[in-house]
Amino acid sequence: MAAWNPRPGVLSNLMWIMDRVFKFTNFGIVSVLHQDFFIQAGQAKREQSLVELKEHIHKYYIPLGRQFMVLFPEGGFLHKRREVSQRFAEKNNLPKLEYVSLPRAGALKIIMEEVGPQVPTAGTSKQGYKKDDVNQNSTRIIDTKSGDTIEWVLDVTIAYPDRIPLHLQDIVCGTRPPCRTHLHYRLYPSSEVPTDTEGMTQWLYDRFIEKDKMLEEFYRTGQFPSKDSSTQVVRQVRQDNVRYLILHLFFIASTFLQYRIFCELWSYMW
């Protein structure tokens, strides 16, 4: 969220799709009021969560005129998902990834079916992929005309200092020291995402296998590899301090409110 905070018109028009555990964090009430979607992890609840996501899109995303979605296809924090992902990869003859985990296509398929490009000749598993490397401060995705369908898929690869990703306690408590986080953007036309389940799953696998190789290169050299001969443009995200202060005050107020609610419930029970 911090990376997109300086971009006018993004956060207010964005819907997050995140693990249900975040609903009970200090910013959970903010996400509830913002009509973000909380997906339940686990095979037993996966199908029901996808049905609820479909309903949420038609109940909130479309009526509220949202233009962007944030989806985490890997379905959880790396330290929890890596071992499971590597076991799955070994059983299915897939590469064992170290810096990311293998993604799931269920939520993406629902999104593309409901608000994806309604083109009969949309991508298949045999179709080639075109992509654009874009820098962090580009306004390209914001300048496109808003409509009822997803026009672009923005693939974000995040590199952390010392190869240590964020944990839930870092996000909730803010215990991690300030650090420089690197984001690499690649933009795909949504019409090039395969529409069939097998093709879409393979497309996602290919993207995350690429991510793993990119992160390996970054942690070895300090730079993301480039797909073409053009020089990558690296820019620092500069925050609007006033807006940032207002957001943090809002989160502090949210944390205090949830703390008071918890105390009242605790005193009532005991």
Share of the chain above pLDDT 90, in %: 38
- Give the pLDDT band (50/70/90) at residue 230: low
Q: What is the pTM of this model?
A: 0.76
Reference 6, options 115, 130, 136; nearest CA is: 136
pLDDT confidence of residue 219: 92
Q: What is the pLDDT of residue 114?
A: 92
Total residue length of the chain:
270
Quick check: helix, strand or coil at residue 205?
A: helix
Per DSSP, the residues of the chain read -TTTTTSTTTGGGEEEEEEGGGGGSTTHHHHHHTT-EEEPPSHHHHHHHHHHHHHHIIIIITTTT--EEEE-TT-S-HHHHHHHHHHHHHHTT----SSS-----HHHHHHHHHHS---TT---TTS----EEE-TT--HHHHSPP-SS--EEEEEEEE-GGG----HHHHHH--SPP---EEEEEEEEGGGS--SHHHHHHHHHHHHHHHHHHHHHHHHHSSPPPSSSSPPP-------HHHHHHHHHHHHHHHHHHHHHHHHHHHHH-
Tens of pLDDT along 86-97?
Answer: 999 999 999 999
In whole angstroms, what is the distance from residue 15 CA to residue 40 CA?
Answer: 16
Identify the band that residue 237 occupies on the pLDDT scale cut at 50, 70 and 90.
confident
Write down the pLDDT at residue 254.
78
Q: Stretch 15-24: mean pLDDT, rounded?
A: 86
**H or E stretch covering 183:** strand 182-189
- For residue range 190-221, list pLDDT tens digits in order: 999 998 999 999 999 999 999 999 999 999 99
Is 112 or 246 the better-scoring residue by pLDDT?
112
Per-residue model confidence (pLDDT) at position 193 = 93
Query: What is the pLDDT at residue 229?
Result: 53
Alpha-helical segments (H) within 63-189: 78-91, 106-115, 140-143, 168-173
Cα angle: 240, vertex 246, 250; to 5 degrees: 140
Q: How far apart are CA 96 and CA 84, in angstroms?
A: 10
